[in-house]
Amino acid sequence: MAFDKIELRDLEVWDGNFAAAQALRQAQVDVVAAYPITPSTPIVEGYAKFKSDNYIEGEFVMVESEHAAMSACIGAAAAGGRVATATSSQGLALMVETLYQASGMRLPIVLNLVNRALAAPLNVNGDHSDMYLTRDSGWIQLDAFSPQEAYDMNLIAFKVSEDHDIRLPAIVNQDGFMTSHTAQGVYPLTDDAAFEFVGTYKPMNDMLDFEHPVTHGVQTEEDWHFEHKARQHNDLMVKVPSKIDEVFADFEKLSGRKYNPVECYDMADADVAVFCLGTSVETAREVATEMRAKGIKAGVVGLRVIRPFPFMEVADALKDIKAVAVLDRSSPNGAAGAMFNEVAGSLINTDSKVLLSGYVYGLGGRDLTKANLVDLYKELQANADAGKLTTQQQQFIGVRGPKLSYL
């Protein structure tokens, strides 16, 4: 091979951005087209530096916007390359139009989405507002709770996304700053093991295969549009979940790290649980353990696979508990909560009697403290004891001013 390898230590201390950049290097991504935005910038900077230092055989394409970044990624993927990029917040917002192009054209691209608030007011810190802009875009969406997982999910994303039965792009989410700029221990794979896991890229219907000319980005109108969209949805519902399970199993064999579409912590005998995403999952796990010492049977459900949404696994995780709080790190702006609605949808038509309450928290990077979570578990226990909600269904955690509650 024409590039140099890096001898990594068994345990490195990396932040989530650098962990993601290392995964892009080890996957030997052919093309990264990117436009920088906080807090995702170090991922594509990292790729560019690895490339300049001859650790990658690939191309870094500088473009004039995030819209152009994803457009160039689409072109490179259609041409037949392994492609990735990264963005956040306003950049993602500008990129949204092209996300639908990528998934509709069935192009495997890995997008690192370092979750950040959306303006106005302008804010560079972490929340999940940008995540929900991608919700219906037809991409596979994974969530990392820590730098280790940002690394692991990138490798997994390529393997799922590029499978010829799947051919759908994948987003790897991580919390802006709380993961992306937080250095922690990461156990990387060796360069050879990581590349062998991801595999040599095998293009399908690539435009540079001149022996087999193809057209990408076609117009279909009423005649075929619906069938294309239905097939994409079908593949997300039917093919992707089993592929993710298979790749998670392969990854566990290789690394010893076991991932599940729904990550349950101390749920087997739990009475009350917190359902959340990102770094909050880990903090909640620590608090849940402390609550058990205080006599509250607390558990945590973390969502690893956001799309396709694992309805059955979510319902199964929550079926025997008494009360669950669904945490939304984005403003619902006139609804019950993006994740609240998903969880409620997974429980409907089941026998579960779990009491469901929703909490909006952490907007613009507002801290979710352990003290907040202690109060939350106590409130859930009160609901469980009363056999009904003791508060209104929707509340806010950590916002100043008068207490807000609705519904």
Partner 1 sequence: MLEIRWHSRAGQGAVTGAKGLADVISTTGKHVQAFAFYGSAKRGAAMTAYNRVDDSVIMNHEKYMEPDFVFVIDPALVYTSDVTINAKEDTKYIITTHLTKEELVKAQPKLAGKEVHTVDCITIANETIGRPIPNTPMLGAFMKISKMYEIDFFKESMKRILQKLPQKIIDANMIAIQRAYDEVK
How many residues bind to partner 1 according to rule CB under 8 A? 25
Alpha carbons 361 and 396: distance in angstroms, whole number: 6
Binding status of residue 368 toward partner 1 by CB under 8 A? yes
To the nearest whole angstrom, how small is the minimum distance from the Cβ of residue 255 to partner 1?
A: 16
List, in sequence order, every residue forming a beta bridge with 406; answer none if it has no partner. 394
Closer CB to partner 1, 63 or 124, in the complex: 124
Binding status of residue 115 toward partner 1 by CB under 8 A? no
Binding status of residue 387 toward partner 1 by CB under 8 A? no
Closer CB to partner 1, 42 or 203, in the complex: 42
**φ, ψ for residue 75 (rounded to 5)?**
-60, -45
Query: Does residue 39 have a cis bond before it (omega within 30 degrees)?
Result: yes
Q: Are 155 and 251 in contact (CB under 8 A)?
A: yes
Alpha carbons 393 and 380: distance in angstroms, whole number: 12
Q: Are 337 and 326 in contact (CB under 8 A)?
A: yes
Query: Residue 35 corresponds to which tokens in the numbers above?
Result: 């436009």
**Sheet strands side by side (includes 170-175):** 59-62, 31-34, 83-87, 109-115, 170-175, 140-143, 305-307
List, in sequence order, every residue forming a beta bridge with 327; answer none if it has no partner. 359
Closer CB to partner 1, 130 or 175, in the complex: 175
Stretch that binds partner 1, among 8-16, 216-224, 327-335, 399-407 (CB under 8 A): 8-16
To the nearest whole angstrom, how small is the minimum distance from the Cβ of residue 111 to partner 1?
A: 23
Alpha carbons 199 and 193: distance in angstroms, whole number: 10
Distances from the Cα of 73 to the Cα of 45, 68, 84, 91, 157, angstroms: 16, 8, 7, 15, 16
CA atoms within 13 A on the CB side of 130: 39
Of 148, 189, 177, the residue nearest 362 (C-alpha) = 177
For residue 20, what is the enclosing H or E element?
A: helix 16-26
To the nearest whole angstrom, how small is the minimum distance from the Cβ of residue 15 to partner 1?
A: 8
Residue window 172-211: x/- pattern of binding to partner 1, with contact defined by CB under 8 A: ---x-xx--xxxxx--------------------------
Residue window 148-177: x/- pattern of binding to partner 1, with contact defined by CB under 8 A: ---------------------------x-x
Query: Residue 297 corresponds to which tokens in the numbers above?
Result: 């049977």
Closer CB to partner 1, 97 or 252, in the complex: 252
- The one among 4, 5, 6, 11 contacting partner 1 by CB under 8 A: 11
Which residues, 274 to 303, sit near partner 1 by CB under 8 A? Answer: 279-280, 282-283, 285-286
The 8-class DSSP code of residue 236 comes to I
- The one among 6, 237, 312, 371 contacting partner 1 by CB under 8 A: 371
Residue matched to tokens 């490339």:
51
How many residues can be counted in the chain? 407
Residue window 124-153: x/- pattern of binding to partner 1, with contact defined by CB under 8 A: xx----------------------------
Residue window 42-71: x/- pattern of binding to partner 1, with contact defined by CB under 8 A: ------------------------------
Closer CB to partner 1, 30 or 152, in the complex: 152
- Which distant-in-sequence residues (6+ apart) come within 8 Å of 84 by Cβ? 24, 27, 29, 32, 47, 73, 109, 110, 111, 112, 154, 158
To the nearest whole angstrom, how small is the minimum distance from the Cβ of residue 20 to partner 1?
A: 16
Stretch that binds partner 1, among 9-17, 25-33, 96-104, 255-263 (CB under 8 A): 9-17
Distances from the Cα of 397 to the Cα of 184, 372, 376, 393, 405, angstroms: 27, 7, 9, 13, 10
To the nearest whole angstrom, how small is the minimum distance from the Cβ of residue 407 to partner 1?
A: 28
- The one among 97, 367, 375, 385 contacting partner 1 by CB under 8 A: 367
Closer CB to partner 1, 18 or 35, in the complex: 18
To the nearest whole angstrom, how small is the minimum distance from the Cβ of residue 317 to partner 1?
A: 19
Binding status of residue 13 toward partner 1 by CB under 8 A? yes
Q: Are 366 and 398 in contact (CB under 8 A)?
A: yes
- Which distant-in-sequence residues (6+ apart) come within 8 Å of 107 by Cβ? 74, 77, 78, 83, 167, 169, 216
- The one among 38, 85, 255, 346 contacting partner 1 by CB under 8 A: 38
Binding status of residue 8 toward partner 1 by CB under 8 A? no
To the nearest whole angstrom, how small is the minimum distance from the Cβ of residue 16 to partner 1?
A: 10
| Residues engaged in binding partner 1 (CB under 8 A) | 11, 13, 15, 38, 124-125, 175, 177-178, 181-185, 279-280, 282-283, 285-286, 367-371
